[in-house]
Structure 1
Amino acid sequence: MSRKPSLLKPAIRYENNPIVTSAQVNKIWAEPQLQTITVHNAGITEYGGEVLMLFRSHLRSGISVLGIARSKNGLDNWRIDLKPALVPCSRVDKFAQGAAVDELIENEQGGLEDGRITKIDDTYLITYSAYHASIAHRVRVSLISTKDFKTFLRHGPLLQTDMRNVVIFPEKIKGKYYGLFRPNDHTKQHVGGIFKQIQIGSIDNWERSVWEIRKEPVMLQSDGPGSFSDKIGPGAPPIKTKHGWINIFHGVRSTMDGNPYVLGVALHQLDDPAQVKVSNIPILFPSKSDCKVPDDAYVHVPNVVFCCGAIRRENGEIYIYYGGNDTVMNVAVSHEDILAELCEKYGQNPTTGLPLYKIL
C-alpha cells in the first residue's frame, strides 16, 4: 500500500476493496436456501497462521448467519468455508453445562449477527447478537467459545437484558476480565437515549457469564452536534499497544437523510480500562468507494462503515475490517501511533462528547 496513514487520513482504504462479497460466498454456498445478499460486520482473529474472518451474511429469507473466510495475508485470496459456521441453534448443537437450552434456542431463531472474536489463552470467545424470531427488537448478546472453529460451545446470554455491540478485552486486568457494552432498547429509532452510551463491565471467570456492569457509562454523548452525537457502540475487541488499549468504535449523527455511521477511536488505560481518552475526530467516514457492487446487486443500508474486528501487525499497523453499507467487507490500514495521537491531541470529554481542543 503506497499511501501511509496520517492525522489527515487516519485510515487508508485498501485499493482492492471489497475483499469479500456475497457473490463470492454464493459460489461456495450454492444451495438456494443458503444464497446470501450481504457479507458484512465480520469478527477477525489469527488462527492457524492465517487471518480468519467470521462474517455475517443475510440469507435471502432475511435471517443472518455467520460464515468463515481465511486469508494468508489478511488482504486477498480469501477462501470461503464450504458451509456456514453458525446458524440458529437446535438441540443437535453443543451447550455449556448449566446453559438454558430452550431459552437459547428461542433467542437465536431470528438469526445471529455481528460476531466479535477475542482470544484468551487457547480459547476463542465469540460474542454475537442473538435475535428473537417473534419479539420485535429483542436481542441478547450471547457467548460462544471454540478452540478450532469447527466445534462451537454455546454459553448463553452475557446478561438477561437487551444488549448490542459487546466486546471483551483479551486478557485479565488486575484479576478481572473486562468488556465494553452498548445497551439496546425496544425502539424503532435506534438512536438517542441509551444508544448514546458505552458501559464497562467486569467478571472473574468468563465462563460464568454473569457480568457486573458499572453504573456510570465509560463513554457518553450529550445532545450537542458531533459525528457521534446520536449513537455510539464498541466495534473491534480492544487491541493492546504501548499507548494503551485501542478501541475502534462506531458513531452516528442523525441527519435529514438518515443515520450515517462513522468509525471513531478511543484509548483505554492499560491497567484501568475505565480511564479513557476519546478522539473527537472520526477515523473513517462512509464513501461511495465502500460499496462497490454490480448495478443489479442489492445494497442493504447506505452510508455505513461498521467494524467488528481489527488486528495489529508487528510494525504497529492496524488492519481495520469494516462492512460497507452493510453489504460488502472491506479493510483499511491505520497505525497505532496515529490512532493514539488523535486521542491525545484532538480529544473529547468522554462523558459529554464536547471537544477538548481549540479549533483555532
Structure 2
Amino acid sequence: MTATFPLGPFTPHASNPILSPRGTTWESGSVYNPAALVVDGFEGADGQEVVLLYRAHADDVVSHVGLARSRDGVHFTCDPDPVFSPAEPHEVHGVEDPRVTEVDGTYYLTYSAYDGERALLCLATSTDLRTWERHGVVLPELNSFAGHEGGPTGPWTKAGGILPVQVDGRWLMYVGEGSIYLAESDDLVHWRLVSDRPVLEPEPGTWSEFLVEVGPPPVLLDNGLICLVYNAAVKLPEGGVRYVCGQALFDPADPTRLVAKLDQPWLEPRTAEEQHGLVSNVTFVEGLVQFQGSWFAYYGQSDSTLGVAVAPAGEGFGGSSLSARTAVLSPA
C-alpha cells in the first residue's frame, strides 16, 4: 500500500448514492456509515473484493449491521439479512457505526452500543465476517465528551479505529466522539487509555468547533507516520449540525503527539443527498481502503444513504501542488 499525507484529493463518485434503503424491514429507513475491507477470495470468490459492513435501520432507528460486497468498489450486492444485530441490554436500541481492522485472519469490529440513553464503544471478533464473538464494552469509564459544555454526563464513548500493525510492541486504537483519545492493548481485546488527555480536540472558530470523532481505522504512511482520518462538526445557527471530514498526522514515536492536520475539510456536504436527510448536512466517513490502484473512502450521506469518494493511490497532493483550501498543514 502506498500512502502519503495528506491522502487524496478525493472526488465523490458520480454513482452516489451507491447504497440506499430498501425493502420494508431492517434496512428500509437508512443505510449509511460503513466499515470497509479488501478481502481476497471471500467465501471462495476469485480475486479481491471490497466488503462493507454498513449500518442500517428501519423507521424505528434501531440499527443493525449489514454486509455488502463489490468487485469494483462502487457497485455492491447486499446480503438479505444483517450479520450483526442487537443482542445485549446495552444494545437494545442499536449496534451502530462499525469500524473493522483485520489482523492475521481475525476481524476486530468496534461498534457503538446504544440503549436509548447512553452510547458505549464495544468490540467483537470474527474469522468469517458473519459469526461474531462479543467482548463487551471497551473503556467503560471513559466519557469522551468530558469537558464539553452541554455534553453527556457519565460514561459515553463511540468510534474506535484500530491501527492494523503494532507500534513498539503494542496495538493502538484512536477512540472517541467529542474529543479523541488514544488507547493501547497487548492482545487487541483488552484496552487501556494511554493518557487521560485527548490527542485531538475541537478547535473554536473552525469547522471542528463542536466535536471531532474518529473516522476509519488509522493508516500507517510510507514514512512511518500515522494518518488519522476523522469527522468534525459545528452547530449551525439555524439549528442542527454540519459534519465534514479532516485528516491528522501523529508520530509513532509518541502517538499521542499531533504533528500536523489539514486546515480545511477534504470532504464536506455539497450534494442534495449530503445536505438533506435524517440528519442533514452530513458527510461521515468510516471506511477507507486502497483497491485497484485507488483510495475508496466510504461515508454516510445525511444519515440516510451511503456514498464513496475516490482518489488515485500513490499520487497525493504532492509538494508544490498542495491546495491552499484543502491541504494546508498546521503544525501542532
TM-score for the superposition, normalised by structure 1: 0.76
Per-residue CA shift, 1:179-221, capped at 9, x if unaligned? Answer: 11115xxxxxxxxxxx2x21111111112x2323412221123
Aligned to 1:176: 170
Question: In 2, distance between residues paired with 1:38 and 1:340?
Answer: 37
Gaps of at least 5 residues in structure 2 are 1-5, 43-47, 142-155
1:308 aligns with 2:286: yes
Aligned to 1:131: 114
Q: Aligned with 1:307: secondary structure? A: strand
* Inter-CA distance 337–200: structure 2 relative to 1 (3 Å threshold): farther
Which of 83, 103, 123 matches 1:143? 123
Moved over 6 A (4+): 339-345
Aligned to 2:234: 253
Return the letter of the residue paired with 1:306: F
TM-score for the superposition, normalised by structure 2: 0.83
Whether the 8 Å CA contact 1:18–1:329 is kept in 2: the answer is yes
1:88 aligns with 2:66: no
Aligned to 2:148: none
* Inter-CA distance 69–109: structure 2 relative to 1 (3 Å threshold): same
Aligned to 1:3: none
* Inter-CA distance 339–115: structure 2 relative to 1 (3 Å threshold): farther
1:42 aligns with 2:34: yes
Per-residue CA shift, 1:271-324, capped at 9, x if unaligned? Answer: 5432332111110110124449xxxxx931110000111002464x32110111
Whether the 8 Å CA contact 2:295–2:310 is kept in 1: the answer is yes
RMSD: 2.4
Question: In 1, distance between residues paired with 2:195 and 2:292?
Answer: 34
Aligned to 1:327: 304
Question: In 2, distance between residues paired with 1:281 and 1:87?
Answer: 36
Aligned to 1:220: 201
Larger radius of gyration: 1
Aligned to 2:72: 73
Per-residue CA shift, 1:50-79, capped at 9, x if unaligned? Answer: 111001012222211110110012111x11
Q: Aligned with 2:69: secondary structure? A: strand
Farther-moved stretch of structure 1 (271-280 vs 244-253): 271-280
1:115 Cα deviation after fit: 0.3
Return the letter of the residue paired with 1:252: A
Question: In 1, distance between residues paired with 2:261 and 2:114?
Answer: 30
Whether the 8 Å CA contact 2:85–2:94 is kept in 1: the answer is yes
The number of aligned residues is 297
Question: In 2, distance between residues paired with 1:80 and 1:345?
Answer: 35
Q: Aligned with 1:107: secondary structure? A: helix
Whether the 8 Å CA contact 2:34–2:55 is kept in 1: the answer is yes
Question: In 2, distance between residues paired with 1:129 and 1:58?
Answer: 14
Whether the 8 Å CA contact 2:18–2:307 is kept in 1: the answer is yes
1:345 Cα deviation after fit: 6.4
Whether the 8 Å CA contact 2:27–2:56 is kept in 1: the answer is no
* Inter-CA distance 328–289: structure 2 relative to 1 (3 Å threshold): same
Return the letter of the residue paired with 1:269: D
* Inter-CA distance 82–33: structure 2 relative to 1 (3 Å threshold): closer
Return the letter of the residue paired with 1:251: A
Aligned to 2:144: none
Question: In 2, distance between residues paired with 1:302 and 1:79?
Answer: 26
Gaps of at least 5 residues in structure 1 are 1-6, 27-31, 90-104, 184-194, 293-297, 351-360
Per-residue CA shift, 1:151-185, capped at 9, x if unaligned? Answer: 111010111132111111111110101011115xx
1:228 Cα deviation after fit: 1.0
Q: Aligned with 2:90: secondary structure? A: helix
* Inter-CA distance 290–11: structure 2 relative to 1 (3 Å threshold): farther
Question: In 1, distance between residues paired with 2:137 and 2:169?
Answer: 23
Identity of aligned residues (%): 26
Which of 238, 248, 256 matches 1:266? 248
Per-residue CA shift, 1:11-39, capped at 9, x if unaligned? Answer: 2011111111113xx2xxxxx54352110
The structure with the largest helix share of the pair is 1
Return the letter of the residue paired with 1:144: A
Aligned to 2:137: 157
Return the letter of the residue paired with 1:115: P
Whether the 8 Å CA contact 1:307–1:322 is kept in 2: the answer is yes
Return the letter of the residue paired with 2:174: L
Per-residue CA shift, 1:224-243, capped at 9, x if unaligned? Answer: x1111111111010122214
Whether the 8 Å CA contact 2:33–2:300 is kept in 1: the answer is yes
Aligned to 1:101: none
1:340 Cα deviation after fit: 8.1
